Chains A and B, each alone.
Chain A
Amino acid sequence: MVELDDVRRTFGPVVAVEALSLRVPAGSVTVLLGPNGAGKTTVVRLVTGALASHGGRVRVLGLDPTGPDGTAVRRRCGVVPARPALYDRLTGYDNLRYGAELFEVPASRIDERIADAAARFGITAALEMRVGGYSTGMRARLALARAVLHEPDLLLLDEPTAGLDPESARTVLGLIDELAEQGKAVLMCTHLLLEAEGLADEVVVLDQGRTLVAGSPEQLTQRYWPAARVVLDADDPTLLDQAQRLPFVCSYARNGAATVELTDPSRVPDLVDALVGAGARLRRVEPQTPTLEQLYFAIRQGAHA
């Protein structure tokens, strides 16, 4: 759906994106992770052709978004910019109608689509209100509703949950997941690691416009979090100290419960056997996978080391 190969974009002397390569397949959620200024918003703008690249190749739906096919590309994209880009003086309905008309929703279906989108994002009751009076959460929902009105094949979401309360953020993330299940390709930018958790099929970590690392969360875990971590507790915690002597244990720390790092996740049963054999009565054996946040910092630490 989206193919970026060795893309470069500068703003005067500032390099916003450098040697960026990226693939966003249909029916998947690709998350661009990175701090502010990492180049995430620039990527979204390059994909729709709002910005032209200064090098490399950008193809969206097989077309060049900055060429004569740009209109066709943009017609099939739904964008939620970092700032919702709404018209405050207009009502929610007028904002949606404007979006529907510009994105060529057939006139006979506009009202039906608006009603559906408004219901889906929980803003039906506010449609006749001016957007200037909307809360941050309502604005984000309206921007999302506008982005899906024309049933785009590709959704580009730049910090879609920024400013939302946890409940609204959860709803939005659930909807993104639902859209991906319907076969849409989703490219989402965020610096909130928690929201990419469980949603991302592919994670691209950006730093100063460059790709630090890319892959599925599982691949990244294997690469950057090779040691398997297990948290253990026992009736007599001192017996857990026996684990230090085992050859497949990399590190051991006990502060109440014990945290053990193994050379290989498949050695967890061996660890349990050894401790039971030493007389420990185990109350807790909890293998731990890293959160995306831990993974992200591990990646950044590795990159800057």
Chain B
Amino acid sequence: MSARTPSKALVIARTDLRQLRQSRDFWLPLAIIAGLFFVVLPAILLVLITHVSDVRLVKQLSDLVGSLPKQLRTKVKGASGPAQASYALAVYLFAPLAIIVPLTVSSAVGANTVIGERERGSGEFLAHSPASERQIYLGKLIASLIPGYLAAAVGFGCYSLVVNLTVGPKVGGWFFPTRNWWILVVWVLPPFIALALAVILAISAKVSSAAAAQQASALVTLPLILIAYAVASGTLFRAEVVAFAIGGLAWLGAFAALWRGSMAVQRERLLGMGG
């Protein structure tokens, strides 16, 4: 790559992000989903659970914690059944579900940024431009990664606030993110987002619809959810070591996939041809 490479890629990324910011009909549904997963649902459910007074329900919640694996039960904080149940839900149920959100955001943006160029006909402008195919790919990648990482940072920040404010007082103070969650969010999630994007961008360059590209990204999303559950709950043997190893492998896979994916963006395909 030439010395000018980063600047043209950044120009493309900046313009894509500017367009995204202007496309309220595109990002608003994503923001609503993020709000539901990170704030609204956890807040409502956790507030309800922590304020349960019905004896029968309290027993059911205690049973819920009792049904967790022994290894997990010892980690659950809180004196009462509802407090323990809220802790378990906050750490082991809602947070792994919320991990889908940054992936969904990045996947949607990634699919839209390449296929959208073709669908709107603006890909022809890029095809005739002096930007190299590698620069175009890099620009699209940056424009897709930033919303995903931003969604992860802001989303988990809000989620932490919600669960610490609602459940924290019942379990002896602020408790989220746990050590395992820090590892997940900082080390495991980013390469999976990059991996998903590499798949999305490679597929987007070939298929004709954004929906087809997004469906393909589920291949990457599903294993991440399983890993998130396993690592967050500590059900994997020596969870931290496994998390670091999975993260490391994911980084390697992401770099390999991104390198390979960079060849998928070709001028002819920007014109809506080839494949």
Contact = CB atoms under 8 A, between A and B. Distances in A.
Interface stretch (B72-80, B99-107, B221-229, B266-274): B266-274
Given A71-B130, A87-B15, A89-B23, A102 B123 contact: no
Interface residues of B, number: 27
B15 A50 contact: no
B211 interface: no
Nearest to B270: A50
B128 A87 contact: no
A51 B12 CA distance: 21
A74 B128 contact: yes
A101 B11 contact: yes
B267 A49 contact: yes
Given A51-B268, A94-B18, A81 B124 contact: yes
B19 A87 contact: yes
B124 A90 contact: no
Interface in B1-51: 4, 8, 11-12, 15, 18-19, 22-23
Contacts of B120: 87-88
Contacts, number: 76
Interface in A76-102: 77, 79, 81, 83-90, 94, 98-99, 101-102
Contacts of B22: 89-90, 130
A45 interface: yes
A104 interface: yes
Contact of A11 (B23, B131, B270, B273): B273
A75 interface: yes
B209 interface: no
A89 B19 contact: yes
A155 to B, nearest CB: 12
A271 B261 CA distance: 75
A48 interface: yes
B131 A102 contact: yes
Given A51-B268, A85-B121, A90 B273 contact: no
The 3 tightest CB contacts between A and B, nearest first, are A85-B125, A50-B127, A83-B121
15 contacts: A45-B128, A45-B271, A49-B267, A50-B268, A71-B130, A74-B128, A85-B123, A86-B125, A87-B120, A87-B122, A90-B18, A99-B125, A102-B12, A104-B4, A104-B130
